[in-house]
């Protein structure tokens, strides 16, 4: 028997849909199919793993952001609580309990925005209005001065500052709103401090008007220190109520 006949004798065919596929060819197809299946499976698991890792990274980032937010909120609440407690104990409860929380929040926000010691702002408010949002300023002779609210702003001044800040001041009653009055008052004080390049002169100008202080300076007349001294006294008392370290003021 010839060699070709011997090889032909050992090749067994399979009939698939009428086509003859030899075992060697069929095994090759199986190997290729398995290889493709393995590659597909590996690709799927790699993509799935990358998606899972990406999802975990997003979740970790979200948790970090949440943690930072909670830390910030905790810090803010702690700061507001210190202010509220100081107000509550200041001069044996001069400030009504209903006012402490609101005022503490507003003072904290303003002091953070402009970089003030919150107890300094409280001291100015104390000297100006005794923490009363409905206060109306009076001269020593009993006549009304035209100043209103927590920081004793005059209506015309408040309108000018309000336009710069985008805060509407339409009537005097707007100045009796603590959030409006405090925002305008702190902005005005900051403006005066910048104008005179001095905390002390800016504070005096807040009380007497920038024109009056400028006149004192131009004529080299001794400045009246009464208002400044009163604010400092209130500041030290408030710090003592808060059991907070006293920082020297400029």
Range of the domain at 217: 61-242
> Mean of the pLDDT values across residues 108-128?
93
155-172 as b/e: b if 16+ CB within 10 A: eebbbebbeeeebebeee
CA distances from 98 to 76, 82, 93, 228 (A): 19, 16, 11, 29
Whole-number Å distance between alpha carbons of 120 and 111: 9
Q: What is the pLDDT of residue 92?
A: 60
Q: How far apart are the first and last CA of the chain?
A: 118
DSSP summary character for residue 245: P
Within a domain: residue 33?
Answer: no
Instruction: Give which of 200, 213, 202 is closest to 250, Cα–Cα.
Output: 200
Tens-place pLDDT, residues 139-166 = 777 778 889 999 999 999 999 999 999 9
Average pLDDT over residues 94-107: 82
Within a domain: residue 12? Answer: no
Number of domains in the chain: 1
Please indicate, yes or no, if residue 173 is contained in any of the structural domains: yes
Q: Domain for residue 5, yes or no?
A: no
C-beta separation of 175 from 158 below 8 A = yes
192 and 160 Cβ atoms separated by less than 8 Å? no
Interhelix angle 210-218/178-196, rounded to 10 degrees, is 20
Per residue in 159-206, pLDDT (tens digit) is 999 999 999 999 999 999 999 999 999 999 999 999 999 999 999 999
**Residue 30 covered by a domain:** no
3 state DSSP class of 181: helix
Inform me whether the pLDDT recorded for 32 exceeds 90: no
Instruction: Give how far the C-alpha of residue 181 lies from the chain's centroid of Cα atoms, to the nearest Å.
Output: 20
Q: Taking residues 59-74, report their average pLDDT.
A: 52
Q: How much is the CA Rg of the chain, to the nearest whole Å?
A: 39
Residue 95 lies in a domain: yes
Q: How far apart are CA 65 and CA 170, in angstroms?
A: 40
- In this predicted structure, what is the pLDDT of residue 12? 44
**Which residue in 219, 218, 213 sits closest to 200, CA to CA?**
213
pLDDT digits (tens, 9 = 90+) for 194-245: 999 999 999 999 999 999 999 999 999 999 999 999 999 999 999 888 876 6
Q: What is the pTM of this model?
A: 0.69
Give the domain CATH number at 99.
1.10.530.10
Residue 3's alpha-carbon distances to 9, 22, 96, in angstroms, are: 10, 19, 115
Residue 112 predicted with pLDDT over 70: yes
Nearest CA among 156, 195, 148, 210 for reference residue 173: 148
The two tokens of residue 14 are: 């399979």
pLDDT-based confidence at 57, cuts 50/70/90? low
Residue 9 lies in a domain: no
Could you tell me if residue 213 is inside a domain?
yes
């Amino acid at each position: 028997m010839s060699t070709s006949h011997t090889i032909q004798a050992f090749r067994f065919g399979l009939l698939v849909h009428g086509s003859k596929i030899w075992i060697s060819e069929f095994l090759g197809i199986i190997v290729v199919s398995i290889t493709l299946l393995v590659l597909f499976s590996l690709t799927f698991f790699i993509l799935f793993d990358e998606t899972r890792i990406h999802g975990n990274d997003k979740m970790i980032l979200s948790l970090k952001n949440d943690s930072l937010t909670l830390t910030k909120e905790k810090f803010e609440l702690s700061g507001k609580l210190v202010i509220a407690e100081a107000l509550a104990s200041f001069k044996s409860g001069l400030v009504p309990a209903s006012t402490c929380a609101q005022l503490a929040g507003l003072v904290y926000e303003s002091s953070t925005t402009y970089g003030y010691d919150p107890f300094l702002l409280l001291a100015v408010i104390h000297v100006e209005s005794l923490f009363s949002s409905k206060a109306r300023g009076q001269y020593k002779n009993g006549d009304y001065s035209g100043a209103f609210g927590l920081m004793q702003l005059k209506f015309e001044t408040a309108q000018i500052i309000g336009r710069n800040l985008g805060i509407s001041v339409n009537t005097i009653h707007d100045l009796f709103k603590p959030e409006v009055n405090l925002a305008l008052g702190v902005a005005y004080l900051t403006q005066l401090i910048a104008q005179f390049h001095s905390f002390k002169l800016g504070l005096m100008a807040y009380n007497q008007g920038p024109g009056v202080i400028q006149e004192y300076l131009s004529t080299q007349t001794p400045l009246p220190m009464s208002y400044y001294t009163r604010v400092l006294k209130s500041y030290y008392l408030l710090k003592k109520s808060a059991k907070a370290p006293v920082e020297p003021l400029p």
